[in-house]
Amino acid sequence: MVSGSVMSVYSGDFGNLEVKGNIQFAIDYVDSLKELHVFVAQCKDLAAADIKKQRSDPYVKTYLLPDKGKMGKKKTLVAKKTLNPVYNEILRYKIDRQILKTQKLNLSVWHRDTFKRNSFLGEVELDLETWDWDNKQNKQLKWYPLKRKTAPVAFEAENRGEMKLALQYVPEPMPGKKLPTTGEVHIWVKECLDLPLLRGSHLNSFVKCTILPDTSRKSRQKTRAVGKTTNPVFNHTMVYDGFRPEDLTEACVELTVWDHYKLSNQFLGGLRIGFGTGKSYGTEVDWMDSTSEEVALWEKMVNSPNTWIEATLPLRMLLIAKISK
């Protein structure tokens, strides 16, 4: 493996349990605290993870999308041995009302087994752009049917700008060595063009790189931040070693562009460069979702070792993989 630690990037397993049942919750924005409150009341008629005993150990998890990583996930406690769990918990997010308009709230229900593995039981997504926070009805508890996992939208309509970059695969970094060496992938982040302005005229952007499926700190590298421009020039080269030829079909270069502001980073857009097969080392993964242009760049790199292959690719919305500490 590229640097030794493999992990399930979305911890959990989609798709082997049916999705059924409903969840009851309410949301409210508390102006005095600048907080979104998600009141998770209960679920009923969930699918049974333990078919024999007809029960699950369910909990509810929430995210604000698209910036899954930034606000973090919030979770209820795990309810034991039931298909009709009662939670009555409030999950809180500190967030400006203005920013809330750009978010979707995702609530998903999961079964956690004794080995701490998670199985997906269904989800609900609310688009907060059009949500009327002043409507009293909207503060009431409501029942929502749980839905299957929605496939992430491959192309968002809005323009997130582009990245100009070059990749190079070096199969033998030290030719002439008796011992077989593993190869390297070099990533030259040149510049970004037409990045979106999320807050007025300020932009202080940087690029982060991870080689999936490895999300450990060792796999993460980033450029410096470049301020005051929507066309930042980075000219930063990152080198990743430990690539055997067979790793090239299983790994994926995730490049994400962020706006650094005060103490937080906001996601602007990203690329996932790989073969886009939907699988990695035999496991189905949702990050192996390269577009045809991203696949074309990776193919050219693999087929022309020791040569810089340049491309300018459109940045897109990504569901960001979870980071393992």
Question: Mean pLDDT of all residues in the chain?
Answer: 85
Of 173, 166, 164, 230, give the one whose Cα is nearest residue 198.
230
Mean pLDDT, residues 198-225 taken together: 87
CA distance 267 to 173: 34
Q: Which amino acid is at 158?
A: E
Query: What is d(CA 32, CA 231) in angstroms, rounded to the nearest whole number?
Result: 38
- Give pLDDT tens digits for 216-254: 888 899 999 999 898 999 999 999 998 999 999 999 999
Radius of gyration of the chain (CA): 22
DSSP 145-177: E-BPPPPPPS--SS---EEEEEEEEES-SSTT-
What would the two tokens of residue 226 be? 């470049």
| CA–CA gap between residue 239 and residue 169 (Å, rounded) | 10
For the cut 60, the answer to whether the pLDDT of residue 15 exceeds it is no
The per-residue pLDDT for 321 is: 52
Residue 9 pLDDT more than 70? no
> Tens digit of pLDDT for each residue in 145-158?
998 875 443 333 35
C-alpha span between 29 and 94 (Å, rounded): 10
* Local confidence band at 180 (pLDDT 50, 70, 90 cut-offs): low
